[in-house]
Amino acid sequence: MNVNSFLLCKTPDVWCNQALQNLDVLLIDHANCEKKAASTALNLMYRHPEHTQLVLRLSKLAREELRHFEQVVAILKDRNITYAQISSSRYAGELRSDVRSHDPARLIDILIVSAIVEARSCERFSCLIDLLDSELAEFYASLLKSEARHFKVYLDFAHEVADGADISARIQHFLAKEQVLIESPDELFRFHSGSPV
């Protein structure tokens, strides 16, 4: 399964246009997203040591996310953009609001949400490549493969933790919620924000 067949909608063109007008915010928030992605992987490693294969895979994934963070910060520096902590979009928090509170259901839901976030990142890189300057286009193209791999890691482990149980309804639930977040009006422009108003 590829990212575009997994997600229920494409990024609106209006978001891509907004990204070009707010490259500094896009890059700063992208750096923050990479840092949060590493943190998510590390948190799962600490909470679920009993899943040895998951922990080992997440260790590699966290290192890749931190490497991406370092690369984005280097691009910011080269462009004389000050790296700063900016407010988060509603995206991840809203997606996580329906995560169940008991394990293994909680872990399954977090893995599904993480897969969706990685898939959307991959889709956004793809839609920006043809619009950005050559340096950023080349960088985002280089990230496509790893983000698509991360999406698959999370989704595969969600199925593995479910141990044969059908989790398609949970996947569809979170995908439908994600579609609303991407397509509905959003006053705050960020890497994962909705349709700019």
- Which has the closest alpha carbon to 19: 150, 170, 171, 192? 192
Neighbours of 195 (CB within 10 A): 16
Is the pLDDT at 72 greater than 80? The verdict is yes
Report d(CA 58, CA 150) in Å as an integer: 9
Q: Cβ distance 42 to 65 under 8 Å?
A: no
Task: Give the per-residue pLDDT at 67.
Answer: 97
148 or 138, greater pLDDT: 138
Task: Give the per-residue pLDDT at 108.
Answer: 98
Task: Give the per-residue pLDDT at 124.
Answer: 96
Task: List, for residues 78-137, the tens digit of each pLDDT value.
Answer: 999 999 989 999 999 999 999 999 999 999 999 999 999 999 999 999 999 999 999 999
Quote the percentage of the chain above a pLDDT of 70: 100
Task: Give the per-residue pLDDT at 145.
Answer: 84
Give the residue carrying structure tokens 């991959």: 122
> What is the mean predicted confidence (pLDDT) over 163-174?
97
- Per DSSP, the residues of 27-57 read HHHHHHHHHHHHHHHHHHHHH-TT-HHHHHH
Is the pLDDT at 74 greater than 90? The verdict is yes
State the average pLDDT for the chain. Answer: 96
How do the domains of the chain map onto residue ranges? 10-190
Task: List, for residues 24-39, the tens digit of each pLDDT value.
Answer: 999 999 999 999 999 9
Report d(CA 158, CA 40) in Å as an integer: 15
Is the pLDDT at 1 greater than 80? The verdict is no
Q: Is 166 left (phi over 0), alpha (psi -120 to 50) or beta?
A: beta
Task: List, for residues 146-164, the tens digit of each pLDDT value.
Answer: 888 999 999 999 999 999 9
> What is the mean predicted confidence (pLDDT) over 172-192?
97
For residue 41, what pLDDT band results from cuts at 50, 70 and 90? very high
Give the residue carrying structure tokens 């890691």: 153
Query: Global pTM?
Result: 0.96
Does the domain spanning 10-190 belong to CATH 1.20.1260.10?
Answer: yes
Burial (0-12, 13-18, 19+ Cβ within 10 Å), 15: buried
Which secondary-structure segment (H or E) carries 157?
helix 134-162
